[in-house]
Amino acid sequence: MSFRWWGLWKGSFFHCAFVLRAGLVVAVGFMALTAASTESDLLEPERAFQLSARFSDHKTVELNYKIADGYYLYRPRFKFAPEPTTSAKFGIARFSKGKMKQDPTFGWVETYRDSVSIFLPVAMLETHISRGQPLRLKITSQGCADAGICYPPFQQVVSLQYGSLALAFPEPAANIGTDRPVQSTAPQNAPTSSLSELLRKPK
Amino acid sequence: MPKRFLIAAIVLLVALAGVALWLDRSDLATLPLAAKSHATVAATAVSPGALYSAKFSDLQGNVQGLGQWDRKLLIVNFWATWCGPCKEEIPILVKIQEKFSGRDVQIVGIAVDSSLNVANYSRSIKINYPIFPDEVGAIAFSKRLGNRLGLLPHTVVIAPGGTVIYNKLGVVTEAELVDIIAKNAPI
């Protein structure tokens, strides 16, 4: 090896520290590039907060959310409503345990990551049951992503078939006579808790 | 053969150092953490005419069009009182509006929220720029500007004449806005 090439090699060797630093900067730059997201990286609300629903018993709807990593839901932002509004009555929802968070908007607030289960007491209008119509439940939820971005209130409607065992309540007095005859669908051995009791107490 | 290997190694080292220096200059390594976590929004195809013809009602119920600020650097911030990150950046926007009141810079806040919520909140922190509460129209307008999912906060900077020069989801920093204003709204 000639002296000239040895000198170059020696120079490169002594600049090893610079090369290492350069390599580090490359790595940091690459990490920064991958950390910066684009709008298309953010999940659609349906995918960030995946909902499934079912009747867990004759008077309770169970809602389960699978929450994507890096996303969370606010407990106070949940709302539940039947569609049409007169078709069902809901009691006080019971939520699985979440995590308290100090939030600039809501103060100390319960939030959910990974998953949340909600148990919603439900009584159905008798005529709705006798017509074989499903329970249509409108759920409003709202959450954010750790990236510092929030989703607007998000509404989903689920249709649930409940069979003939659902807890029922009669047609309001003002409507009696305008619908076809009501056929009671409450099972003989159904629990005897009244609707008012159901709607007062969480399950 | 060793000479060829040596030349290849040197070329590789020089190339690596060149890439490193380029990245070093590109500010990527010095961006604050908050800026790194933002999401960029795809370029919008909204024409200046469509931007400036947008109209919203203010807190007093007066309809105002964005076109009145067509000769200013217009910073449009979409927010809501239920959005925590939005509340983090509003003091920054208030400060920017105050700091650059002598320049042709105008901030407007379009809220995805009710008038009542917005009025209460804007009173509590003394927002010094026009606020337009519009629960339905705000999201639609934000989506037209490229915010596909209607996420908040969303900030768009429109140069005089109607060209969108900045479009970001997530909290803006004071440094980012100062830099944009310095480049686009000279004294």
pLDDT surpassing 70 at residue B24:
no
Q: Report ipTM (2 d.p.).
A: 0.75
Q: Name which of A28, A35, A42 is nearest B151 (Cβ-Cβ).
A: A42
Sequence letter at residue A58: H
Same structural domain, B21 and B70: no
Instruction: Convert the pLDDT of each residue in A141-150 to its tens digit.
Output: 999 999 999 9
Q: Name which of B9, B31, B84 is nearest A104 (Cβ-Cβ).
A: B84
Same structural domain, B55 and B7: no
Same structural domain, B12 and B50: no
Instruction: Convert the pLDDT of each residue in A10-22 to its tens digit.
Output: 555 445 455 445 5
> Least CA distance to A9: which residue of chain B?
B6
CA atoms lying within 13 Å on the CB side of residue B168 = 23
Same structural domain, B54 and B87: yes
Q: Which of A39-53, A173-187, B66-80 shows the lowest mean pLDDT across its residues?
A: A173-187
User: Which chain B residues are Cβ-neighbours of A149 within 8 angstroms?
Assistant: 39, 85, 151-153, 169-170
**Dihedral angle computed from the Cα positions of residues B119, B115, A157 and A203, in that order, rounded to the nearest 10 degrees:** 40
Output the CA–CA distances (angstroms, integers) from residue A92 to A79, A81, A112, A161, in the order listed.
11, 12, 18, 21
Same structural domain, B115 and B52: yes
Structural contact between residues B83 and B153, judged by C-beta atoms closer than 8 angstroms: yes
> Least CA distance to B12: which residue of chain A?
A19
Strand-pair partners of A124:
A88, A168
The band of B22, judged by pLDDT with boundaries at 50, 70 and 90, is very low
CATH number at residue B66: 3.40.30.10
Instruction: Convert the pLDDT of each residue in B131-150 to its tens digit.
Output: 999 998 999 999 999 999 99
Same structural domain, B46 and B71: yes
Best A5, A25, A73, A106 residue to mutate vs chain B (most B CBs within 10 Å): A25
Same structural domain, B45 and B125: yes
Same structural domain, B5 and B88: no
> Least CA distance to A102: which residue of chain B?
B84
On average, the pLDDT of chain A sits at 76
User: Which chain B residues are Cβ-neighbours of A5 within 8 angstroms?
Assistant: 3, 6
Tell me which of A58 and B79 has the higher pLDDT: B79
Residue A26 forms contact with B (CB below 8 Å): yes
Question: CA B98, CA B112: separation in Å to the nearest integer?
Answer: 24
Same structural domain, B59 and B12: no
Task: Determine the structural domain holding residue B156 and report its residue range.
Answer: 37-184
Q: Do B39 and A18 touch (CB under 8 A)?
A: no
User: Which chain B residues are Cβ-neighbours of A146 within 8 angstroms?
Assistant: 37
Which residue intervals of chain B are DSSP H helices? Answer: 2-25, 33-36, 48-53, 84-99, 115-125, 137-144, 174-184
Residue A31 forms contact with B (CB below 8 Å): no
Same structural domain, B8 and B67: no
pLDDT surpassing 50 at residue B32:
no
Q: Do A29 and B87 touch (CB under 8 A)?
A: no
Q: Do A150 and B152 touch (CB under 8 A)?
A: yes
Same structural domain, B66 and B117: yes
CA atoms lying within 13 Å on the CB side of residue A57 = 9
Q: Do B151 and A150 touch (CB under 8 A)?
A: yes
Output the CA–CA distances (angstroms, integers) from residue B28 to A22, A36, A49, B19, B155, in the order listed.
14, 10, 32, 13, 21
User: Which chain A residues are Cβ-neighbours of B139 within 8 angstroms?
Assistant: 152
How would you class B53 by CB atoms within 10 Å of its CB: exposed for 0-12, middle for 13-18, buried for 19 or more? exposed
Residue A152 forms contact with B (CB below 8 Å): yes
Tell me which of A103 and B171 has the higher pLDDT: B171
- What's the structural domain count of chain B? 2
Q: Which of A39-48, A94-103, B32-41 shows the lowest mean pLDDT across its residues?
A: B32-41
Nearest to A75 by CA among A104, A102, A96: A96
Instruction: Convert the pLDDT of each residue in B174-185 to its tens digit.
Output: 999 999 999 998
Beta-carbon contacts of A58 under 8 Å, excluding residues fewer than 6 positions away, are: A162, A165, A166, A167, A187, A190, A191
User: Which chain B residues are Cβ-neighbours of A1 within 8 angstroms?
Assistant: 2-3
> Least CA distance to A144: which residue of chain B?
B83
Same structural domain, B18 and B44: no
